[in-house]
Amino acid sequence: MGKISFVFLNQKTRSAPTNWPIVGMLPELIQNIHRSHDYVTEILKESGGTFEFKGPLFGNMDMVITCDPANIQHIFSKKFSNYPKGPEFRKIFEILGDGIFNADFELWELHRRTTLSLMSHENFYGSLERTVWQKVETGLIPVLDYFCKQGTDFDMQDVLQRFSFDSTCQFFLNYDPGSLSPDLPNVPCEKALSDALEPLFHRHIVPKSVWKVQKWLEIGNEKKLLEAWKAFDDFIYPHISVEGNQGKDNDVNVFASFKNAYEESDLKFSGDLTHFLRDTFLGLLFAGRDSLSSSLTWFFWLISKNPWVEIKIQEEIETVLQIKRNENWRFFSVEESHKLVYLHAALCETLRLFPPIALELKAPTEPDIFPGGNICVDQNTKVIISFYSTGRMESVWGEDCLEFKPDRWILPGGQRVKHESSFKFPAFNAGPRTCPGKKMAFIQMKMVAATIMHHFQVQVLESHLVAPRDAVMLKAKNGLKVKLSRKVHGIEA
Ligand code: HEM
């Protein structure tokens, strides 16, 4: 099976960066900024999974970078209360306000409690199924069919982002912004979700004083971020309505639940109720739209490089679900998605190699020593955890760690997916902050992937260069340029 390699992965093996007087290791980081995830992975590989990065003098950029499962367990689970996201994270992600991604301690507990209670609502998954079905039927299929009939290539990542954006808004806001149609309309908030990712990533790696000045002058990346901020606000505020979802029969009402939580709490929020609801929804939008579309984009790219995996998924859809031939458009239910074991395994394998949230930032509140005893951190240390690198360590996943092998996830007998510890497979985070949307994510990914694979042959353009973007979400830098052809009776037309 072919190894995953991007053009830049074939460069010489790098050793750890030099620690220069005054500027520290910053010059080499900047030199490699265009391939930061792979650069960090190379360094971590050579240094046994953990590395101490020295920033410039007075730059407040000293960091410990790790991808070691033992450290992940220590930080995310055993010593959870010593490793909040911290004030630094909050400053970087100020755009998310009081939302769950930014929150620590009591504010985080309030969000977590309310989110989990919403997700355990008896109608949650029924409502999800209706929303996804409707969007697949009225948005995704017509758009893909259009490009298929035109015979033109298009950016699959863009289409998947639009799909996730519309369905997440429909699900949580009860409003479909209609970004997914054949003319691919410009919906500023949808575009802003992509535009904000690079500036947010840059805030992790340039000294704070630099981005603060840029923000004040409204230039460069910071200008982009301010524009995205405005686009979010213009889109979300008019749609915040506590009564919004009550027209739908017994559906999940996000705003009413968070309004109650806000009103019953003694916490000091940074703004009023409307502000809080805006921050809550923006967090869900980031979570829902970006992680799903990014995972599916990498999935279709990996499938195109590994056609035998596509054949196995296709066979599974037809045999396990006993799909009758001659069927016209066919959609897949939540119930059916649970039966697609091999597809589930292929998605896990995608997330191992391309976790949409590629890194995490933590700020210790008390001095601490990592397991193994040789790394000490304190209140001034930033801890960066690279989930991207964890999936690419031979020491964790074996010599074939760069190969796309869904079979590594299948238990003997072929009927069940193997459970891997979240410290070894942290794509959904680990410990008390484990992603609450994991089940929801797999359901949606499987419904969408199965529908597309059952109806279309996806062909990635040979000339198209695919590489990860240097952003907080692991997107494909140049999108995913594909051409489609229609499958008839499970066979390519
Ligand atoms: C493949 C899809 C997904 C992946 C890989 C994923 C991964 C993650 C990760 C790594 C985190 C931790 C982020 C952080 O703490 O900074 C997280 C948190 C979260 N995710 Fe997901 N997620 C996915 C889909 C979803 C979906 C569809 C939802 C539902 C809207 C969702 C809701 C959340 C929420 C609310 C949190 C915050 C949890 C907390 O801090 O306690 N996720 N997710």
Q: Residue 445 CA: which ligand 1 atom is closest?
A: 1
Please give the C-alpha separations between residue 163 and each of 17, 37, 142, 168, 259, in angstroms, as whole numbers: 41, 27, 12, 8, 28
| Strand locations in 346-480 (E) | 359-362, 368-369, 376-377, 382-386, 456-460
Max distance between CA atoms of the chain, in angstroms, equals 71
Taking Cα atoms as reference points, which of 445, 484, 455, 467 lies closest to residue 182?
484
CA torsion angle 75 444 285 139 (round to 10): 160
Q: How far is the CA of 125 from the centre of ligand 1 (A)?
A: 17
pLDDT of residue 330: 80
Q: How far is the CA of 291 from the centre of ligand 1 (A)?
A: 8
pLDDT of residue 104: 92
Q: How far is the CA of 322 from the centre of ligand 1 (A)?
A: 33
Share of the chain above pLDDT 90, in %: 62
Q: How far is the CA of 129 from the centre of ligand 1 (A)?
A: 19
Q: How far is the CA of 14 from the centre of ligand 1 (A)?
A: 33
**Residues in the ligand 1 pocket, defined by CB under 6 Å:** 100-101, 112, 115, 284, 287-288, 291-292, 295, 351, 356-357, 360, 427-429, 433, 435-437, 440-441
Does the residue 369 lie in any domain? yes
Which of 105, 167, 291, when mutated, tests ligand 1's pocket best, judged by the most ligand atoms within 8 Å of its CB? 291
Helix (H) or strand (E) holding 53, with range, is strand 50-53
Residues in the chain: 493
Does the residue 1 lie in any domain? no
Does the residue 2 lie in any domain? no
Residue ranges of the alpha helices (H) in 399-459?
A: 438-455
- Can you say whether residue 431 is alpha, beta or left, with left for phi > 0 and alpha for psi between -120 and 50 degrees? left
Q: Residue 441 CA: which ligand 1 atom is closest?
A: 27
pLDDT of residue 328: 73
Q: Supply the range of the domain harboring residue 25.
A: 7-492
Q: How far is the CA of 436 from the centre of ligand 1 (A)?
A: 6
pLDDT tens string 428-447 = 999 999 999 999 999 999 99
pLDDT of residue 13: 45
Which of 106, 166, 291, 435, when mutated, tests ligand 1's pocket best, judged by the most ligand atoms within 8 Å of its CB? 435
Which positions of the chain have pLDDT values less than 50? 1-2, 5-13, 245-247, 249, 490-493
Counted domains in the chain: 1
pLDDT of residue 14: 54
Q: Are 469 and 477 in contact (CB under 8 A)?
A: yes
* CB-based contacts of 293, cutoff 8 Å, min separation 6: 157, 160, 161, 163, 164
| Angle at CA of residue 5, ends 3 and 10, nearest 5° | 120
Does the residue 249 lie in any domain? yes
Between CA 25 and CA 218 the distance in angstroms is 28
Please give the C-alpha separations between residue 19 and each of 159, 208, 374, 436, in angstroms, as whole numbers: 44, 20, 19, 40
Nearest CA to ligand 1 atom 14: 101
Q: Residue 203 sits in a domain of what CATH number? A: 1.10.630.10
Q: How far is the CA of 231 from the centre of ligand 1 (A)?
A: 22
Does the residue 415 lie in any domain? yes
